[in-house]
A and B are shown apart, each in its own frame.
Chain A
């Protein structure tokens, strides 16, 4: 299948699959069930979708209570509200108490597009990654998103699954290639390690093509599982290439780049040529079309190419 699809489009249909598998899955959304696609669950199983209205803190609290009653509870809303506005609820109730709540809002990153900076969540990975007991998955395509939701449902405890609005090209054909705690080497190379997640995987793959034309052999790694991070795959790659370029649709502070930097700092001598960061440089987003925004904020394949060759 070659059609482009948004990762969020996997949300509702995967929840339906999970219920059909026999899992006691419910979803709680905050007046965005159409955008997040949890409405798809509600259409098949109306009793399993709870729409609390525009009340994200209550959304997380209700999900926590449902988890306490034995359900596997997924939450919705947009990433900016579903993580930021409900942060204390996620910290103190979901993570501190290790509840079976899967925080999986949509519209993460700059690719929200025309809605602008208020809605473009660029800090969510940082916020979720720092929480004890939280696992963080950033799927690159529709198949990986479905896999992430399956992993979250089948593994007890808190998860953050980062879903986006942008339609991205297919990276995976099979859900089983995507696993908790594992990064995938999507393209082998010897000269630089492009370590990407989410929508940036597509850009990194395109950049690697361009780099090949310039005589640079780039290895592309999908760091789907940001936490736990696949230390071994990343260290193996960087020890071979000597340096890493982290690529994420997120602030350069606190996200994938930071996770890679923390890892490399703990293993001196591996990254002989250091690390470069592709990400949003500590600023808010702005309204625009997705491709315009990827170029403006230097997240596109050309920007990755430039960082490598310069």
Chain B
């Protein structure tokens, strides 16, 4: 059990405000992106990463002992990149390259371009299955000799045969993260957890429930899903488009341990995460009630800001609301992101 109820909520609130300003600045600089669903997830991300729940090494995004975090709602990439800048994985000045040609900060997260992205996402509904497979693999590796023996031989594999694909393929692989670096693993212990952040609209994907059924069947206690329950999707309110009714009851019926929380209260998020993490009989889900666009008055509870960036004037208004001392969208000295 981690220090769940002793989190420094002032520190988390400070970091959350900085994440929000980063999201605004980078999406406005890009001229596109998804501020609404990034802003709704800010307090979840801040509490998860800076409240002591997720274990990682700020100096090494590929540290084998790290907990894994998968952003299944990949369109919320800005909140992930802002979090990476807050951790120190990327320089804050890089954030404004979002969505530009040559940037590591792709419109949706690309693990082959940016270390720290556990897996490329963007097509909704897939992250939970990937998290299930990752948890199963960690179970095997943590279990003992079979996994570690296999990993040792893994190093001997003929990776050079990749060249046989031909030059055209090589030209596509201009990223900075080789297939080998990002997937090779050291034998790791049983304590590594797999967290996956889902959108509530994303729960309309059938694959989510295929994965939910199997995760419970395999009693994957190292798996913790978090639902960013902002109740809006691109075309409107989820209850009007295709109502999921009780997300808690649905997961519970699939055999998950379900916990709800206020997704903007670090103490409450922390309590829910601690409960989910400590549940050892199977997978857990934290259903975090959030507000889309949270923190920017004109974006809150509006699906119009799902996939549209603020213009420079709107961004300046938003930054002022978020307590920025410098309101240029492209960032400045004085506010480190």
Q: Do A and B come from one complex?
A: yes
A22 interface residue per 8 A CB criterion: yes
B157:A64 contact, CB within 8 angstroms? no
B334 interface residue per 8 A CB criterion: no
B204 interface residue per 8 A CB criterion: no
Stretch at the interface among A50-58, A110-118, A241-249: A50-58
A62:B140 contact, CB within 8 angstroms? no
A281 interface residue per 8 A CB criterion: no
B111 interface residue per 8 A CB criterion: yes
- B contact face: mostly helix, strand, loop, or mixed: helix
Closest B residue to A180 by CB, please name it.
Answer: B164
Give the interface of A toward B (CB within 8 A): 19, 21-26, 28, 47, 50, 52-53, 55, 57-58, 60-73, 88-89, 91-93, 96-100, 132-133, 135, 151, 154-157, 180-181, 227-228
Stretch at the interface among B93-101, B126-134, B243-251: B126-134
| Chain A nearest CB, measured from B336 CB (Å) | 31
- The residue in B133, B152, B162 that gathers the most chain A C-beta atoms within 10 A of its C-beta is B133
* Interface size, B (range): 35 or more
A93:B172 contact, CB within 8 angstroms? no
- Chain B residues closer than 8 Å to A25, beta-carbon distance: 150
A93:B137 contact, CB within 8 angstroms? no
B213:A69 contact, CB within 8 angstroms? no
| Chain B nearest CB, measured from A271 CB (Å) | 21
| Chain B nearest CB, measured from A256 CB (Å) | 17
Of the residues B126, B135, B161, contact of A154 by C-beta under 8 Å? B161
Give the interface of B toward A (CB within 8 A): 68, 110-112, 118-120, 122-123, 125-126, 128-138, 140-141, 143, 146-147, 149-154, 157-159, 161-162, 164-166, 169, 172-173, 179-180, 183-185, 206-207, 210-211, 213-214
- Chain B residues closer than 8 Å to A28, beta-carbon distance: 133
Additional A-B contact list (12), CB under 8 Å, known A53-B213, A93-B120, A93-B123: A24-B147, A24-B151, A26-B140, A58-B129, A62-B132, A66-B133, A68-B68, A70-B150, A92-B126, A181-B164, A228-B164, A228-B165
A58:B214 contact, CB within 8 angstroms? yes
Q: Which 3 A-B pairs have the closest CB atoms?
A: A65-B133, A61-B129, A24-B150
The CA of A65 and the CA of B140, in the complex, are separated in Å by: 12
A24:B136 contact, CB within 8 angstroms? no
Of the residues B119, B184, B207, contact of A70 by C-beta under 8 Å? B184
- The residue in A21, A67, A133, A156 that gathers the most chain B C-beta atoms within 10 A of its C-beta is A156
B210:A52 contact, CB within 8 angstroms? yes
The CA of A111 and the CA of B207, in the complex, are separated in Å by: 30
- Chain B residues closer than 8 Å to A70, beta-carbon distance: 137, 141, 147, 150-151, 154, 183-185
B146:A71 contact, CB within 8 angstroms? no
The CA of A89 and the CA of B125, in the complex, are separated in Å by: 9
B126:A156 contact, CB within 8 angstroms? no
| With known contacts A22-B150, A132-B172, A181-B164, A65–B137 Cβ distance under 8 A | yes
Of the residues B136, B157, B164, B185, contact of A65 by C-beta under 8 Å? B136
B137:A133 contact, CB within 8 angstroms? no
- Chain B residues closer than 8 Å to A66, beta-carbon distance: 133-134, 136-137
